[in-house]
Structure 1
Amino acid sequence: MSLQAPEFFAELCLPFTDSTVVGNTYYATPVAGVPLRLRIGFTATIHADTYGGLRLAVVHADRGEIDAVTLGFVDHGTFHRRDEAHHTSAHSKQYGTFDKYHRPGRPSWEGAVTTGLRDAIEQYTAVWFPGAWQASAPSRAAGRTAHKTVPPPPGPGPGRTR
């Protein structure tokens, strides 16, 4: 079954116009005329066909990979809401991950909130590709999932006790 990688990377709303997805990997040339490329792939866990994050790599056209970082889904809250809603235990293999199996017509990464990942990717790529985000940044709201925040219950007001 497909991971629907093109849709996942589209959800991130990365601003790089010179980019493509091949298989389950995203490739981009964030700055034209520079020999550095960006490669983003899914990181596997110890469980078969289960993914726990993204691996970003800066690749030089002649020298190969020169730097890499792994962004864990748990560390960036990608599946926090989904796991909380489903009461997924932090000690289970499903916590903060997704696998290749999914409901028909739905992505395997259903329930992902990509805001934290996108922010981390922006911070990382700003070091290697300065100005690339400002040059062609799409609307940040386009790839983010809207969530309603429930206000806290009213606390005791002045002169009121519980």
Structure 2
Amino acid sequence: MPLHTQQFFDDVLQLPFDGTVVGDAFYATFGSGSPLRLRIDFAATITHGEYGGLRLAVVHAEQGAIDTAILSFADHHTFARRDARLDIAPGGGGHSTFRDWHTQRSEPPWKGADGADLRQAIEQYAEVWFPGSSGRPPVPGRGAGPAPHAAPGLVRGGRRTR
């Protein structure tokens, strides 16, 4: 059964930035000339066809993934209401997960998901790599870009001291 990825990103997450779904992953670009992309896909559990969160990755067009983070559905209360209604306790099968192998289902497997906490976490992650991506004004005291820092210089031809 398809994961209905586009519908998940449109209906559940409602992210403040534009992107496109390719297969089962969402890709967003920030800035016209940047080689960096944000990729979001479902993070599988050890059970085949079961997903327990989202995998966020900053992907460089030539170098591949340069940073990855996993946001679990349990930590972000995505299925808390559904699990309470169905009396699925933490540690029990199906808690804070969804499965894509129910072929008899007509609705998406993540029906009942609340994406508010996930959306906030994704926005925070994107702000680290793509300042201004959430459309919010910058935090006072922080610059628009990465903070400059002085890298230690290389010592060449000198004697080492202890």
Shorter-chain TM-score tier: 0.7 to 0.9
Kindly indicate whether structure 1 or structure 2 has the higher relative contact order, using CA contacts under 8 Å at least 6 residues apart: 1
SS in 2 for 1:134: coil
Matches within 5 A, 1:3-82: 3-11=3-11, 12-17=13-18, 19-82=19-82
Tell me the matched-pair count.
Answer: 134
Matches within 5 A, 1:1-162: 1-11=1-11, 12-17=13-18, 19-100=19-100, 101=102, 104-134=105-135
Give the structure-2-normalised TM-score: 0.78
The alpha-carbon distance between structure 1 residues 107 and 83, as it changes in their structure 2 partners (threshold 3 A), is same
User: Which one has the bigger helix percentage?
Assistant: 1
Bigger shift: 7-16 or 67-76? 7-16
In percent, how many aligned pairs have the same letter?
50
User: Per-residue CA shift, 1:37-82, capped at 9, x if unaligned?
Assistant: 0000101111110000000000111221110100000000000110
- CA drift at 1:35: 1.2
- CA drift at 1:15: 2.3
Distance in 2, Cα, partners of 1:124 & 1:44: 20
- CA drift at 1:14: 1.5
What is the Cα-based RMSD across aligned positions, in Å?
Answer: 1.4
* Amino acid aligned to 1:68: T
Distance in 2, Cα, partners of 1:116 & 1:29: 22
Distance in 1, Cα, partners of 2:90 & 2:105: 26
* Amino acid aligned to 1:105: S
The alpha-carbon distance between structure 1 residues 63 and 50, as it changes in their structure 2 partners (threshold 3 A), is same
Give the structure-1-normalised TM-score: 0.78
* Amino acid aligned to 1:133: S
- CA drift at 1:114: 0.2
- CA drift at 1:102: 6.5
Q: Residue 78 of structure 1 contacts residue 96 of structure 1 at CA under 8 Å; is this kept in 2? A: yes
Distance in 1, Cα, partners of 2:104 & 2:74: 22
Q: Residue 31 of structure 1 contacts residue 132 of structure 1 at CA under 8 Å; is this kept in 2? A: no
User: Per-residue CA shift, 1:128-154, capped at 9, x if unaligned?
Assistant: 00011118xxxxxxxxxxxxxxxxxxx
